Amino acid sequence: MSAPERIPPRSVTTAELLAKGELKVRGRIREASNAVLFCSVTYEGREASCVYKPVAGERPLWDFPDGNLARREVAAYAVSEATGWGLVPTTVLRDGPYGEGMCQLWIEAAAESELLALVDAEEPEPGWKAIGFAEVGEGKTALLVHADDERLRRLAVLDAVINNADRKGGHLLPADEGRLYGIDHGVTFNAENKLRTLLWGWAGESLPPESIEVLQGLREALRDGAGLAGKLAELITAAELDATRARVDALLAAGKHPEPSGEWPAIPWPPV
């Protein structure tokens, strides 16, 4: 008799691990304005570190009255995945020790060259983009710049789509193998223009062909009945979903990176 065929063990995906695994709280990240818990998660022999943000630990915000921050974090991940750029760590909505919340894969930041800097100059050097002037004390100012980096440019496009109201330097995580992730997407998808970011270096410049192609794909994915539209409909309001579609259409019509509107502070505070 021949030996029975051995079925290889099923590979657990990161999304399954985060959604179904046993969460154990290991500590709290106290620098955050809302409850952010550092956890381990274990499922079918696989283990990872993650961040768990329970809805119960969110502070109400006057300008985000609908839905909750955790669902917006998951929605940002869904849009990131639809772009194919993989800019947001795997993020799911699940029950945990303190109720429903978002659970996101922990990313260990890798040491690399600076993405942001303050320079004593009127214009940025080659390889850098100007954000604006910042007070540095004693009546002095310095030029705040960010790297002219393709990964940051992709993130700037994603932020324009999801209407990110809080893209700070501390929300940029360089990782191994040259990856760059953006985190903390709780204040996104507002129906009103709320874009606040440190990534204004390309403001008014033409979008690269790659971004145009990605935006065209998002427009299709956001049509009624399409996959991304269905996912977002479970996470944000109908008005916010319509506004997301409108932002994609506006970006494609203009063919340019957005510029500060002047109706809302353009740079988050504190910037890092």
- Does the pLDDT value for residue 3 go beyond 50? no
- Does the pLDDT value for residue 7 go beyond 50? no
- In 3D space, the residue among 19, 17, 188 whose CA is nearest the CA of residue 87 turns out to be 188
- Phi, psi at residue 245, to the nearest 5°? -60, -40
Q: What percent of the chain has pLDDT over 90?
A: 74
Element housing 171 (H / E): none
| Confidence category of residue 23, pLDDT binned at 50, 70, 90 | very high
Q: Is 229 helix (H, G, I), strand (E, B) or coil?
A: helix
DSSP per residue, 8-60? PPPPPPHHHHHHHSEEEEEEE-TTSSS--EEEEEEETTEEEEEEEEEGGGPPP
The distance in angstroms from the start CA to the end CA of the chain is 67
135-156 mean pLDDT? 89
Q: What is the pLDDT of residues 77-132, one digit of tens each?
A: 999 999 999 999 999 999 999 999 999 999 998 876 689 998 989 999 999 999 98
- What residue has token string 């795997």? 90
Quote the pLDDT of residue 10. Answer: 61
Could you tell me the two tokens for 28? Answer: 């709290």
Quote the pLDDT of residue 112. Answer: 67
Average model confidence (pLDDT) for the chain? 91
Q: What percent of the chain has pLDDT over 70?
A: 93
Q: What is the pLDDT of residues 181-240, one digit of tens each?
A: 999 999 999 999 999 999 999 999 999 999 999 999 999 999 999 999 999 999 999 999
The answer to whether the CB of 58 falls within 8 A of the CB of 71 is no
169-182 mean pLDDT? 92
- Does the pLDDT value for residue 147 go beyond 90? yes
- Does the pLDDT value for residue 1 go beyond 70? no
Q: Which amino acid is at 57?
A: G
- SS3 track for 51-118: EEEEHHHCCCCCCCCCCCHHHHHHHHHHHHHHHCCCCCCCEEEEEECCEEEEEEECCCCCCCCCCEEE
> How many Cβ atoms from other residues are within 10 Å of residue 190's Cβ?
23
Which segment of 74-83, 148-157, 256-265 scores lowest on mean pLDDT?
256-265
